[in-house]
Amino acid sequence: MLYLIGLWESVRDFIATGGDVLYVVAAALLLMWILMIERYWYVSSVFPKAMKQIIADWEARKDTTSWYAHRIRDAWISQASDKLSERMLLIKTLVAMCPLIGLLGTVTGMIAVFEVMAVQGTGNPRLMAGGISMATIPTMAGMVAALSGVFFSSRLEAKVKISKEKLVDSLPHH
């Protein structure tokens, strides 16, 4: 329990040093990871069952060679593909937004530095250092959040692509 309290105090100090923009970075990171975990779950648990059902429906059809049958096949593949790709654009957008939110923190930190300079003058480096750390920490946090998202979202995108290809390959095109 003491470890968790110490961890919470470290996080609180980090946010106090970096400013309120870190809450926005944390919210974007949390949403991004919730969406990525949901997509991983869908691709690995839900989609295989849906794919088996589509394959069973295709094999149960008497007509699999006509033009109409191929349009039905294409529609089923398209619907499954859309389900696989759901929220991928939102995940990519959140990944791209994290560094931008960090840059917003940089701007607010620099504004704090200029406020200190306007009020206290340029002679107090200790006060200016607080604003400069408030300017750099959100940028670093946004970059770290984006890097974690880039790696896992690209892996997720590859899994989605492979799942789509497996579905197409599993529905024979006579």
pLDDT score, position 110 = 83
How high is the mean pLDDT in each 10-residue block of the chain (174 residues)? 83 79 92 96 95 92 88 94 94 95 87 77 70 83 93 95 93 75
What is the distance in angstroms between the CA of the first residue and the CA of the last residue of the chain? 63
Q: Which amino acid is at 72?
A: I
Contact 154, 95 (CB under 8 A): no
DSSP state for residue 63 in the 8-state scheme = -
The residues spanned by each domain of the chain are 2-170
Q: Which residue has the tokens 């917003």?
A: 104
pLDDT score, position 47 = 95
If you average pLDDT over every residue of the chain, what do you get? 88
What's CA 51's distance to the chain center, in Å? Answer: 25
Contact 147, 98 (CB under 8 A): no
